[in-house]
Amino acid sequence: MPDSIAPAVPPTPPVPLRALLAREDLALRQIAGPTDPGAVIHWAHTSEMADPYPYLLGGELLLTAGVHVPGASGPDGGPPGPDGAESLGDYFDGYVSRIVAAGGAALGFGLAPVHAAVPPALAAACDRHGLPLLEVPPQTTFSGVARAVWQLMAQARLAELRRVTEAQQSLAAAAARPDPVPSLLRRLAQRLDGRAVLYGPDGTEIAGAGREPAREVRAALAALAEVVRPAGRPARSPASATDTVGDTHLAAYAMGAGEGFVLGVAGTRREPGDHTIASVAAVLLSLLTGEHHSGAGAARSSALVRLLLGAAPEAVAPLLGGREWLVVHARPESQAPDPVAASALGAALGSPLVDLGRDVVRVLVPAGREPEPQPGWVLGVSAAAGPPEWPAADAQAARALARARATRTSLVRHGARPGLAGLVPRAEAQAHARALLAPLAGQPALTDTLRTWLSLHGSWDRTAVALDVHRNTVRQRIARCAALLDADLDDPDVRMELWFALRQD
């Protein structure tokens, strides 16, 4: 069954067991269990518990010196007498079965000082339950084995990151060619050693590259594409999904928001970084298909040219596809935005009209597409506005973003509920606001600080976060506002009147 997957950086690849056995400095030796060349371990864990099941996550190389073994203090670490050997066989059978049930990948048994040799009953149990058993010589410490595992994992991680980086650069170069879509699909198929397909909004295969899979695989990939296709689906579809047909791994990625293009990938392997590589290709294809879908790219170019030649915004707005628009200000939670992240955000919000600033991304979204919270972003959304009100909507979105950051909220909308301001004629309200705020005229830093401070209920710390200034600066500015306005800002009536006036600004 297909399952939803979230975009992520390539995870740390597991370590092949044979790579650990090849380390001459460890001198490990497999003495029982299957010798599958594809066996891998994800980490090393030491435990002397008789039942390690509750402490295992799965994928471990479990290391033990056999302290927990009954009769471990006997001669040579073995149980005395034949009855002890029989009971020890039962003990090891239960012990190994619990490791296998917990998902343990392999067992390492250390020699000396407790045991001079690996108990034969343990080797027999590992053979019976299919668990690789490694002999750890006396000169090899468990910490040395764990360090070797982490070293191998770091090497694999570096190699995977290098592979992903090279693939990203290769895909970007392909997207810049005269035939960008076919070139990008060819490069993706080569990188993933499989088949890459672009499906159109109606589900037909627009372009494909790579090895042609079997008919049942093609059908399964086309069906998986429908799982993530947003167009015409009543419920919100996942951004990506995976499935498996035989030994072929399938993945599908929705592109943009509502346009219906889907990238499908099929291959006989699934490396940790393959999802990241395919996700990058999906973003690039979103940009390419978005530019040409329904002539939208040509319409935007025409609108830009007309604006540059002096046309009014309201005259070119119909070319952009809507009468009223929302302005969205977005800021990443961790780092400065980059062009690819900004484009991906625009695609997620359903608009190619994206402006990348130094630390803020602005997106112009048709009013019919209600923005939703986006992972990794903080958003401020304006009220719906026509072209003449776009500058005011831009200011609304900026203030909403500042409030979202200050309150640690993923998305804040401007004017979510109607207020009493609607009862006062706009011209009269603006005249009153100009008169009340006249002492602050020409000092936007004071006005913005007062507005933000009032919106955050007088919180110095949250206002400082919203404005990116020190809290002492906020205190000084608010004190200056109080002096210029000759008002007691602790009075709730004064605050209410000032807030009403600032809302008209």
312 domain-assigned: no
Provide the pLDDT confidence category of residue 234 given band limits of 50, 70 and 90: very low
Q: What are phi and psi of 424, to 5 degrees?
A: -105, 130
Provide the pLDDT confidence category of residue 329 given band limits of 50, 70 and 90: very high
| pLDDT tens-digit series, residues 188-220 | 998 888 999 988 877 888 888 988 888 899 899
Q: Do the strands 354-356 and 361-366 form a parallel or antiparallel pair, or are they unpaired?
A: antiparallel
Provide the pLDDT confidence category of residue 97 given band limits of 50, 70 and 90: very high
Asked whether 122 and 34 are in contact (CB, 8 A), the reply is: no
429 and 409 inside one domain: no
Q: Which residue has the higher pLDDT, 260 or 212?
A: 212
Q: Do the strands 248-255 and 240-245 form a parallel or antiparallel pair, or are they unpaired?
A: antiparallel
Final residue in a domain of this structure, among 76, 107, 139: 139
Provide the pLDDT confidence category of residue 1 given band limits of 50, 70 and 90: very low
147 domain-assigned: no
424 has a pLDDT exceeding 70: no
Output the domain CATH number for residue 276.
3.30.450.30
163 and 54 inside one domain: no
- 121 closest CA partner among 112, 109, 113: 109
| Range(s) of the domain holding residue 494 | 424-503
Q: What are phi and psi of 250, to 5 degrees?
A: -115, 150
Amino acid symbol at 52 = P
Beta bridge partners of 364: 327
204 and 281 inside one domain: yes
To the nearest whole number, what is the mean pLDDT of the chain?
Answer: 82
Asked whether 361 and 336 are in contact (CB, 8 A), the reply is: no
Helix (H) and strand (E) counts in the chain: 16, 18
160 and 288 inside one domain: yes
Asked whether 28 and 18 are in contact (CB, 8 A), the reply is: no
382 and 469 inside one domain: no
254 domain-assigned: yes
Alpha-carbon distance of 480 to 153, in angstroms, equals 58
| pLDDT tens-digit series, residues 344-385 | 777 778 787 888 887 889 998 888 778 888 888 899 999 888
The fraction of the chain above a pLDDT of 90, given in percent, is 28
Which whole number is the average pLDDT over 117-136? 96
202 and 93 inside one domain: no
431 domain-assigned: yes
Provide the pLDDT confidence category of residue 6 given band limits of 50, 70 and 90: very low
Provide the pLDDT confidence category of residue 2 given band limits of 50, 70 and 90: very low
Provide the pLDDT confidence category of residue 94 given band limits of 50, 70 and 90: very high
pLDDT of residue 82: 45
Provide the pLDDT confidence category of residue 110 given band limits of 50, 70 and 90: very high
14 domain-assigned: no
Provide the pLDDT confidence category of residue 85 given band limits of 50, 70 and 90: low
Residues in the chain: 505
Total number of domains constituting the chain = 4
- 49 closest CA partner among 60, 37, 35: 60
404 and 438 inside one domain: no
164 and 83 inside one domain: no
Output the domain CATH number for residue 490.
1.10.10.2840
160 and 279 inside one domain: yes
User: 426 Cβ partners below 8 Å, 6+ apart?
Assistant: 504
Which whole number is the average pLDDT over 401-414? 86
| pLDDT tens-digit series, residues 10-58 | 456 788 999 999 999 999 999 999 999 889 999 999 999 999 999 999 9
Instruction: Kindly report the number of other CB atoms within 10 A of residue 33's CB atom.
Output: 22
Q: Which residue has the higher pLDDT, 191 or 179?
A: 191
3 state DSSP class of 355: strand
16 domain-assigned: no
State which of 86-90, 134-138, 303-307, 446-450 shows the largest mean pLDDT: 134-138
254 and 343 inside one domain: no
173 and 276 inside one domain: yes
Which whole number is the average pLDDT over 441-461? 88
pLDDT of residue 236: 53
121 has a pLDDT exceeding 90: yes
9 domain-assigned: no
Q: Which residue has the higher pLDDT, 12 or 60?
A: 60
389 domain-assigned: yes
Output the domain CATH number for residue 114.
3.40.1390
74 has a pLDDT exceeding 90: no
Three-state SS annotation for 17-39: HHHHHCCCCCCCEEEECCCCCCC
Tokens, residue 267? 């291959």
Final residue in a domain of this structure, among 94, 117, 139: 139
pLDDT of residue 4: 37
105 has a pLDDT exceeding 60: yes
301 has a pLDDT exceeding 80: no
168 and 111 inside one domain: no
Alpha-carbon distance of 106 to 56, in angstroms, equals 12
Which whole number is the average pLDDT over 52-78? 80
Q: What is the pTM of this model?
A: 0.45
| pLDDT tens-digit series, residues 462-479 | 888 888 889 899 999 999
pLDDT of residue 302: 75
